Amino acid sequence: MTVNEEKFTRQRLLDVQTLTPNLFTLRTTRDPGFRFAAGQFARLGVRKPSGSIVWRAYSMVSAPHDEFLDFFSIVVPDGEFTSELSRLEPGDELLVDKQSFGFLTLDRFIDGRDLWLLGTGTGIAPFLSILQDFEVWQRFERIVLVYSARTASELAYQQLIRELPQRDYLEGLGSKLTYLPVVTREQVPGALNGRITTLIESSELERAADLQLEPEHSRIMLCGNPQMIEDTRALLKTRDMNLAMTRRPGQVAVENYW
């Protein structure tokens, strides 16, 4: 992919946190002119030793009002992009496309009472941005965040999730959030165990949330493993919950930048 110099800004890496050998978070400076809606993604670029630039899409974890940009990344073994990205240190340069992208945003739904955010792995990123924006707390009566990872050590941003409901601007609204961590490869106290689709089929997810998945009230966002998205969409369709399209209101929104 070739991008003209005018189409991106040069940002500085502020912080890198290693979560596991395969997962890390990063924070960069933010160009004052960069605008995005909660749930959208940016294209990040790194320069290879040869001088060429490699680009990949990453959802913002940070809120639209933050003065920095946060991202959550997996290390792809021998991956052209992440192998370069994971070597960067604070102070190094990271390129950010001037335009934001994506449709995993609240305006996909024209109505709805309950919002379900179902994410696996780094797919949690756009949901954290959405939850740091005031609009979601105004619009929905109940918000259920379902975050699935293989092991407990791979569940990132736990402090952020815990502290979210206590933020000053959410006074009286924080109780709307129900957080359901899911771990698939080990039994962890306080976490559900199993694939998201299995938990939906058995109704365990709904029992844990004390809330029904139903076409009239439920609006569902999916992000993460492509197979999870495909399987969950198919399962929800059997319950009369369909993809929200520009010209056809629906109950389900997905992100497909993988």
- pLDDT at residue 191 greater than cutoff 50: yes
What is the predicted pLDDT for the residue at 1? 45
What is the predicted pLDDT for the residue at 77? 85
208: amino acid identity, one letter: A
- pLDDT at residue 5 greater than cutoff 80: no
- Mean pLDDT along residues 160-181: 95
Length of the chain measured in residues: 258
Do 142 and 175 contact (CB within 8 A), yes or no? no
In the chain the domains, ranked by start, together with CATH numbers, are 5-97 (2.40.30.10), 106-254 (3.40.50.80)
What is the predicted pLDDT for the residue at 246? 82
Q: Could you tell me the pLDDT band of residue 87, with boundaries at 50, 70 and 90? A: confident
What is the predicted pLDDT for the residue at 257? 57
- Closest C-alpha to 144, from 157, 133, 130: 130
The bridge status of strand 68-74 relative to strand 53-59 is unpaired
- Closest C-alpha to 219, from 155, 140, 146, 133: 140
pLDDT tens, position by position, 11-49: 999 999 999 999 999 999 999 999 999 999 999 999 988
- pLDDT at residue 2 greater than cutoff 70: no
pLDDT tens, position by position, 95-151: 999 999 999 999 999 999 999 999 999 999 999 999 999 999 999 999 999 999 999
- Which two three-digit tokens encode residue 174? 């924080």
- Mean pLDDT along residues 193-221: 98
- pLDDT at residue 4 greater than cutoff 80: no
| pTM of the model as a whole | 0.95
- Closest C-alpha to 127, from 79, 86, 180: 180
Give the C-alpha separation, 35 to 13, whole Å. 19
The pLDDT > 90 percentage for the chain reads 87
For residue 126, give every residue at least 6 positions away whose Cβ sits within 8 Å of its Cβ, in sequence order, or none. 38, 39, 40, 41, 59, 60, 102, 104, 119, 221, 223, 255
Give the C-alpha separation, 10 to 46, whole Å. 10
What is the predicted pLDDT for the residue at 251? 98
Q: What is the mean pLDDT of the chain?
A: 94
What is the predicted pLDDT for the residue at 49? 86
What is the predicted pLDDT for the residue at 86? 84
Give the C-alpha separation, 30 to 82, whole Å. 20
